[in-house]
Chains A and B, each alone.
Chain A
Amino acid sequence: MNDEDHLKNQIRELLLSQRLGVLSTHYKGHPYSSLVAFSSSENLSELYFATPGSTRKYRNLSQDNRVSMLIDNRSNEISDFHNAIAVTVLGTARKIEGSEKKQVAGIYLIKHPYLQDFVNSASCVLVMIQVNRYILVRRFQLVYELHVRK
């Protein structure tokens, strides 16, 4: 297995094992973080999450689509310091509309079936993050980057 496949597998495993991630947006330069339930595409090029259209995070990404997301497997134990893996995702966000929405909602609800009512409500928006880059941190300080889109 080459370095790229190895790194992709580590990232894929982490994304599949975690339900929540911390989304970062900003409003006029003021940073803002929020917890979201996410899912990802098999090839790692896209992440998805759902949010009511009235939220601050949605307003922020509508104004500037550059976002970041942190996903990690910490367990709030001391052992996290050597055991935990974290990935920072950099990408651009956009609302999913039309026929695409049904398809993505299907993928999303496989991972989060309990969010069915939430996702199907008229006020909920499905957002796709087109990933540019993953930055994976493990062993406390060992950092690798995976470039998904140039």
Chain B
Amino acid sequence: MNRMLLSIEEINESHSNVAGGKGLSLARLYLAGFNVPEMICVTTRCYDKFLDLSGLRERILLELNRKDFSDMRWEEIWDASLRIRNMFNHAHFPPELHLKLGPVLDERFSGLPVAVRSSAPGEDSLRTSFAGLHDSFVNISGTDAILDHIKRVWASLWSDSALLYRQELGLTIDKSAMAVVVQKIVVGESSGVVFSKSPTDSASGVVEAVYGLNQGLVDGAVPPDRWILDRNTRKIRSHHHAKRQFYMVPGNSGVYEDELPDSLKNEAPLSDEAAQAIFDLALKSELFFGTPQDMEWTRKAGLFYVLQSRPVSTLKSPEQQDERQWYLSLHRSFENLKGLRNKIENTLIPEMIQTAAQLSSVDLSLLSDQDLIDEIEKRAALNQKWVDVYWAEFIPYAHGIRLFGQVYNDTVKPQNPYEFVDLLAQTGMASTERNERMENLASMARNNPVLFEKLENLDPLSANTEDEKKFISAMDRFVASYGDLSCPVTGSRECAQGGDALIRLIVEMASHPPVITGHKNIRDLEKQFLASFDEQNKNRAGELLELARSSYKLRDDDNIYLGRIEAQLMMAVNEAKRRLEWSDKHPGNKKGVRRLKDAVDMHGQTQAPVSSAKGPLPVKNVQARQLLGQPASNGVSRGYARVIVEHSQLSEFRYGEILVCDAVDPNMTFVVPLAAGIVERRGGMLIHGAIIAREYGLACVTGVPDATKLIRTGDFLTVDGFLGIVTIGQE
């Protein structure tokens, strides 16, 4: 089979491998007399040829073979997928293929908007269907735009979702291929999906319908009207009316959400008779395919069109679900993220700040033992509440960055797939604000040799000298806001003996020139981004940029806010510990002491270690020479490694060292102004280590398996943030 294009009339059963599941099922429906929009199928042969001619095949293999899949976190899979998508965005259609596809597309679809849909071989014949793992695009006009979107559909063979389900999909890196269906778009008055058999009730079928195009229904932005029908009698059992406010309409290109005309808000998008008619069509399709069908349809001028039909997927029971479904649930639509932003910025963050402030206003030393125990319980419950909020609201909100990155890359097509991050940085994060205040303290010491010497020798400062008085007061303000940095939680204090961690860091900073955060001129990038959109979409693009900036800032800030609440819990626990120490020396009320001790045991263990690693393995004969991770912040830096396993080791950090860590979090990034580079075991472009490295213009490599085991403090490192390589040795 050498054909790169097949018309709907030409596709038959023998083409299942080259036309894909969707292409084949539409062709079968067409031949059986169903009303199917005009289409052609770009076969997997074309995909294969494109990969070979463009050199992409080996580039994808190199990308996906950087490390074992089992060592890759979801974020790293997402990153790999983004880089692959960028490769497709940049690869030109080889002339040989352009000549084959261009004229046919011109002839068939000149001036007509089309849908460009994925059609992966085998996808719909799976026992569990994986709808939505690959991309489809609606309302694309013009041959060049269609070709461009064919590449994007091909790229989605390597979407993060597909990579997560690679085993179930039988996705093999060297053999898998993707076909594409190019389908004339039918702009129906209403659209929807129909299940000939409900995934949850075998006696029923389901019809869902919205006004306009069904993209809003598919991605959850527009709630549908829903009819439940009896499979035997074909009668309607119930009709659930949606709150009809919006609908999806075609724009100049793509689709957008618009307010539904008032006249339609109180009227269902289908009459009961029409709902029965589409259900009948689904039953007919079930009969034809021999298995219950999940069908997408649109209705124009009273006529139903079948857009695609596939076997109904069996819903997994909760115990069968795994964490991958949670990762996929993090993919949020723009509309969903806007709602989340509003909630986070206007309700949750102010509440967190207020909670921390209220708790800090309580004078713990005045509480009775019982009141202190109650206070610890209350703070523990509050802390847990905010940890839950963090997972339920803040983590999904980070998808704003990813959504923006994808839109930026698809429209601007930059060489560097992470150029978009430059547009999001410098948003005044809480962690960089803390570091600036540390730099102010360091600069006071830098400019006053007497003060510097006293700090260096840990001598007491005098409140009689103007400079020292100022320094003491600035220190007090700093500690009140951020704690003394001896604890893994921002705002907490006295986790280490001596309490001089902060002074030692300030002396180290003051011994060297001040560090300036990288200030790139982002105005041009912003202009370039917005100029890629037509007038209709420019506002939406601007809104998306703002949303992504807020999402980026929160990614770092949320841990600081959360840390401040946890710090209040720790302060109450520490007060209890003090009382227990006192009572050890003054035996008396044993019962009260036991209850205090219980409270400390229960809630005093929240400080997680920075790394689960117990330090470097005593390997004598094996030495890692060069390690692979992800390039997370551009630049090349050299220096001695400082491997951080416990939070307390951060105070030993010296200027010019490379921070090597299992997982950097914002409560420990105060050493970053001293660092020459960052190496992290945890992978991803959007993790805290990468974010702060870019703020300071430091080379950073993340996702280095066993980084804290294979690298030892004192090893000389070269961190190549362009290629994601860490070289050990060779000063």
Q: A residues near B, CB below 8 A? A: 2-4, 7, 78-79, 81-83, 135, 139-148
Contacts and interface: CB of A to CB of B under 8 A. Distances in A.
A78 B58 CA distance: 7
B621 interface: yes
Nearest to B625: A143
B562 to A, nearest CB: 36
B434 to A, nearest CB: 36
B619 A4 contact: yes
B623 to A, nearest CB: 5
Nearest to A7: B622
B600 interface: no
The 8 closest A-B pairs by CB, nearest first: A143-B626, A143-B625, A82-B65, A78-B58, A145-B623, A82-B61, A147-B621, A142-B628
Contact of B621 (A4, A139, A141): A4
A82 B62 contact: yes
B174 interface: yes
Given A141-B628, A142-B628, A143-B625, A3 B617 contact: yes
B625 A144 contact: yes
A81 B58 contact: yes
Contacts of A147: 620-623
B623 A139 contact: no
B324 interface: no
A3 B174 CA distance: 29
A3 B622 CA distance: 7
A142 B619 contact: no
Interface string B614-651: 00010111111111100000000000000000000000
Contacts of A141: 626, 628, 723, 725
B57 interface: yes
B622 A4 contact: yes
Residues of B in contact with A, size category: 20 to 34
B627 A142 contact: yes
Contact of B624 (A4, A83, A140, A143): A143
B206 to A, nearest CB: 46
A143 B624 CA distance: 6
Interface in B50-84: 57-58, 61-62, 65-67
27 contacts: A4-B620, A4-B622, A79-B61, A81-B61, A82-B62, A82-B65, A139-B65, A139-B66, A139-B67, A139-B628, A140-B66, A140-B628, A141-B723, A142-B626, A142-B628, A143-B626, A144-B622, A144-B623, A144-B625, A145-B622, A145-B625, A146-B621, A146-B622, A147-B621, A147-B622, A147-B623, A148-B621
A74 B623 CA distance: 24
Contacts of B62: 81-82, 140
Nearest to B58: A78
Contacts of A2: 619
B53 to A, nearest CB: 12
A47 B442 CA distance: 58
Contact of B57 (A78, A83, A142): A78
Nearest to B67: A139
A142 B66 CA distance: 8
Contacts of A146: 621-622
B619 A3 contact: yes
A143 B620 CA distance: 16
Most buried by B among A2, A78, A142, A144: A142
A142 B174 CA distance: 21
